[in-house]
Amino acid sequence: MKEFFAKKTNAWMRYHDLEGEGIPILFIHGLGCASSFDYPQVAVMKDLAGYRRILVDLLGSGFSDKPDGFDYTMSGHAEYLADFIASLSFDKVILFGHSMGGAVVLSLAARCPECLAGVIISEENLDAGGGFFSRQVAAYTEEDYVTVGHEKMVANSRREGNTQWAASMAVSLPRAIYRQSRSLVEGGTPDWRDTLYALTVPRTFIFGEQSLPDPEQERLAGQGIQIEIVPAAGHSMAWENPEGLAAAIRRGIDRVSADGERSG
């Protein structure tokens, strides 16, 4: 595992860097998750094996540092990730984000448009208001969540059989989970949906088959966004069908490659 020192936060972000050719893919995970936990199975599938794959654990999650004073907003994550991308001297990069990670991706895309080759998002809430879990978290006060709510959420997830998310949540910083949830509920400035619609690079949005029907499918397709569906999976598609998710990401990458050939 490699490290990047985020100077403004005085903390170390950790990541896997899997060697490969072509445009690198940066993986950004969802709320209570970690790319080091979610994406190794996805990244080694044949559809992605030839690409350079960078699996980031956001601050507050996984193996990265968990500074108590960081704001953990989507824009806060995007700020140090922009510095991280600059440190790697990429000419171009493809950003992949799942759920909350999609909001981070869109916040990041606005910060580094010159190196952006394409955006691939899976089941992100594009509007303010948050999702099922972030709304539950944000309903607490911060201190109540840190002292009581986080432990309850982990225990409830285990009891309901959502053991993988419970395991990942258990090693996340409770204060980070709360502040990220508040950021998702409050939404982005500019709006994440508007940011996605305004991007001029190829855009792909991925749904799990079991999450459909979803009115977003038609709405996004009407904006020229490529829609991909992972069979036999719902929201937790990286765990439920890693091969299917890898294939969907690859089709998004193929669109980036095709767009590059047309531009050339």
pLDDT (tens, 9 = 90+) of the chain, 264 residues, equals 999 999 999 999 999 999 999 899 999 999 999 999 999 999 999 999 889 999 999 999 999 999 999 999 999 999 999 999 999 999 999 999 999 999 999 999 989 999 999 999 999 999 999 999 999 999 999 999 999 999 999 999 999 999 999 999 999 999 999 999 999 999 999 999 999 999 999 999 999 999 999 999 999 999 999 999 999 999 999 999 999 999 999 999 999 988 765 555
Right CATH for 2-128+187-263 from 1.10.340.30, 3.30.70.20, 3.30.43.10, 3.40.50.1820? 3.40.50.1820
Rounded CA separation 60/113 (Å): 26
- For the chain, the distance separating the N- and C-terminal CA atoms, rounded to the nearest angstrom, is 36
Look up the pTM and report it: 0.96
So where are the chain's domains?
A: 2-128+187-263
For residue 262, give the amino acid letter.
R
Rounded CA separation 174/159 (Å): 19
Rounded CA separation 210/235 (Å): 8
pLDDT at 148: 98
